[in-house]
Amino acid sequence: MQHFELKGTTRKVGNKAVIKAFRREGLVPCNLYGLGMENVLFTVNAKELKALTDTPKSFIVDLVLDGAKKAQTAVLHELQWHPVTDACLHVDFLAVDEKKPIAISVPLVIAGHAKGVQQGGKFYQNARSIKVCAAMKDLPDEVTVDITDLGLDKRIKAGDIQLKNVAVVSDKDTIICGVKTTRNVTAAAATEE
Q: Is the pLDDT assigned to residue 184 strictly greater than 80?
A: no
Given 70, 95, 120, which residue is the final one in a domain? 95
Q: Is the pLDDT assigned to residue 126 strictly greater than 70?
A: yes
Q: Output the DSSP codes for 92-140.
A: EEEE--TTS-EEEEEEEEEES--HHHHTT-EEEE--SEEEEEE-GGG--
Q: How much is the pLDDT for 122?
A: 93
Q: How much is the pLDDT for 193?
A: 63
Q: In terms of domains, do 47 and 109 share one? A: no
Q: 106 and 141 in contact (C-beta within 8 Å)?
A: yes
Q: Looking at residue 15, which CATH number applies to its domain? A: 2.40.240.10
Q: In terms of domains, do 76 and 39 share one? A: yes
Q: How much is the pLDDT for 70?
A: 87
Q: In terms of domains, do 21 and 72 share one? A: yes
Q: Kind of pairing, strands 37-45 and 3-10?
A: antiparallel
Q: Is the pLDDT assigned to residue 8 strictly greater than 90?
A: yes
Distance CA 143, CA 71 (A): 27
Q: In terms of domains, do 154 and 80 share one? A: no
β-bridge partners, 79: 91
Q: In terms of domains, do 79 and 108 share one? A: no
Distance CA 78, CA 132 (A): 17
Q: Is the pLDDT assigned to residue 3 strictly greater than 80?
A: yes
Average confidence (pLDDT) over 8-22: 90
- Classify burial at 69, counting beta carbons within 10 Å of its beta carbon; exposed 0-12, middle 13-18, buried 19 or more: exposed
Encode pLDDT of 62-105 as tens digits. Answer: 999 998 888 899 999 999 999 999 899 999 999 998 889 999 99
Q: In terms of domains, do 16 and 77 share one? A: yes
Given 72, 95, 118, which residue is the final one in a domain? 95
Nearest Cα to 150, choosing from 184, 104, 186, 110? 110
Total domain count for the chain? 2
Domain that residue 58 falls in: 3-95
Distance CA 88, CA 53 (A): 9
Q: In terms of domains, do 7 and 76 share one? A: yes
Q: How much is the pLDDT for 189?
A: 67
Q: Is the pLDDT assigned to residue 170 strictly greater than 80?
A: yes
Given 48, 76, 95, which residue is the final one in a domain? 95
